[in-house]
Structures are given as C-alpha cells and as structure tokens.
Amino acid sequence: MTGSFEVAVAADTDALEALAPSWWRLWRCCPEATPFTSPAWLLPWWHAFAPGPLRVVAVRRAGQLAALAPLYLEDGAFGRRLLPLGIGLSDGFDLLVDPDLPEAGPALAEAVGRLPGWDSLHLEELPEGAAALSLRWPAGFADEVTGQSARPVLDLPPGESAVPAPQRRKLRMARHRAARRGGRVEPVPPDATDSFLCDLVRLHGARWSARGEAGVLADPRVRAFHAEALPRLVEAGLARLWRAVIADQVAGCFYGLQHGEVAYAYLGGFDPGFAFESPGTMLIGEAIEAAARDGATQFDFLRGQEAYKYGWGATDRLNRLRVVRRLDGAGG
C-alpha cells in the first residue's frame, strides 16, 4: 500500500518543526481537524514535555503531505506504547488524512505498523467523526474501540438566541450586578497574552485553592506550554480570550478556542471574592454569544461532567479510545 507514497518518520525536534508548513496545509484541509491537532498546539506541547522518543509518521505523495500520525513512544510499566502528542492536556486527538487522498489513510496505518519497538498504539480521546476511528489496520494487528470521556456540547441553533432560555435570566442578573460596580467583559488584545496568562494562573489557582487542590496550572511545564502556545494560537486565529473586569480588577478569565463551526471552552478562572457578580457566568455567556456571531454551531465544553455545563443546556457526546495491538510476529 505504501508503494505509491513516500513515508518518513520525524524522530527529533528539528524534524518535527520542519514539518510545520506542510502540517498546517494538511490540517486546514481536514474537515474534522481541531485546534488540538494543529502545530500551534502540539509543537509547544512537545517543547514543554517531550516524554519519550518521537515517532511522528508523515505520508506524502509527490512531495505533498497526505497523512500524519503525531505520536511518541513510551516504554514503561504499561509496556511499549505509541501515544499521541498532546496527551493529558488535549481534549481531542486524531490522525490527519487528506480527504482528497483517502488512500493515504491505509498507507498511514501500514507505515505506523512498520515502526519498530512498540506493542500497542493508544489513540486517545477521539471525537465522533475522527479519521482515526475509520482507519483500517493491516493483517497482523487487533484493535478495540471503547467509550472514553463524556464531552458536554451545546448546540447553537441558527437564527435563535445563542444562550438557552433557562440561562438568560442568570446571565442578565450577573451582568446587571457587575454593571453596578463598573463591570464588563472584554476581549484580550493579541499583544496581551502574557498578562492574560498571568491573570489566568492567579485566578485558576484561587478557584482550585478554595477546593483544597492545586489545579493544572500549578505545574510549571503546563505554564510553559501555554506561554508558548497562546501567541501561536492567536496568530493562527484559533484563540478566543476574554476577561471580566469588576471594580477595576480582573475578576475572571476565559481561555477558549474556535475552528470552523465549533467553539471550545478550554480553561477558566475567577476570583471567589466576586462570586456575587458571577464573572464565570458573564464570561461563558459572552463566549457563547461571540461564538454564534462567528458562525459556530456548537459550543463544546470539553471533557468533564461538571454540573454548570448542563445548566447551559449542554448534552453529552462521547470521546472514544482505540487501542491497536500488535499480534505475535507482526512487524517490529
């Protein structure tokens, strides 16, 4: 199958970064691509974590990138596993296959299968429609698909109010209370990602500290990742950053993403001292309304079944896990 394609494996950082221009071209032509599979997200993730040897498989035809599997190798307590770049921080993974070259998919599977040194491939957090779910694996491999994480999603009907009726009263109340203290929600300028991230770290930490936990941004590697990723996401037009200002203080931050018809609520934080004004409600309401204005038909709250997501009218979608195992004698 790979005979009509050229296969290369990026096994170091320089090779991975050299893929970026063709990776962007392929990513933009894949209808199911998300910000979490873009170079703006995965290159900074690799720079911050680099948890194992790179095994990024690139399939080309006539020099043009036709399929990509951004993977690395973990050799540990669970055996020799191929895992996706971005694991842990990403809320969706997929392989990229040019829709105009569907035969590149089987070529990619064959090329991954020929990689030496692995026993299982774990394709994590695959959303519905993911190319990785429809890929056929060659003889010598067994695979299993199971449900993994629930992902509450709010559908945004065209021509209707973006905010569901049960939540509009709460949003109006939050805005009125904040307005009495000069409160407002404002977009973050493209050149202010550093100050936004500082505010987000502080507010996210305060929110989790109130629960007796540290929160994901307590890890310096996670902060380094976002410090590099945010400017790249802004430049690519993928970031949606908002902050709530009340009584001349930053009371809340919203870190979202949007690509095509899907907006994503990735991370947020707010000052518990402004709980009466509900900056979190103000930020989510603003983000939903802005997403609808930008043409989104879905507002994806991402993994986690927190009660507030369903208060906005979200209903569950299911991410899936596909595990491919090498049978005895297959490949390397």
Q: How confident is the model at residue 210 (pLDDT cuts 50, 70, 90)?
A: low
Q: Verify that 54 and 180 share a domain, yes or no.
A: no
Q: Verify that 130 and 49 share a domain, yes or no.
A: yes
For 122-142, the pLDDT digits (tens) are 999 999 999 999 999 989 999
Of 158-172, 179-193, 307-321, the least confident: 158-172
Q: Is residue 93 part of a domain?
A: yes
Q: How confident is the model at residue 52 (pLDDT cuts 50, 70, 90)?
A: very high
The sign of the CA dihedral 20, 24, 30, 35 is positive
CATH code at position 39: 3.40.630.30
Domain that holds residue 258: 157-296
Q: Is residue 303 part of a domain?
A: no
Q: Which two tokens stand for residue 295?
A: 């043409």
Q: How confident is the model at residue 209 (pLDDT cuts 50, 70, 90)?
A: low
Beta strands in the chain (DSSP E): 6-10, 56-61, 64-69, 71-76, 79-84, 96-97, 120-126, 141-155, 184-187, 239-246, 249-259, 262-270, 298-300, 315-326
DSSP state of 192: G
d(CA 239, CA 186): 14
Q: Is residue 117 part of a domain?
A: yes
Q: Which two tokens stand for residue 75?
A: 């050799």
Q: Is residue 277 part of a domain?
A: yes
For 24-50, the pLDDT digits (tens) are 999 999 999 999 999 999 999 999 999
- What is the reported pLDDT for 237? 98
Q: Verify that 197 and 140 share a domain, yes or no.
A: no
Q: Verify that 94 and 180 share a domain, yes or no.
A: no
For 95-107, the pLDDT digits (tens) are 999 999 999 999 9
Q: Verify that 172 and 60 share a domain, yes or no.
A: no
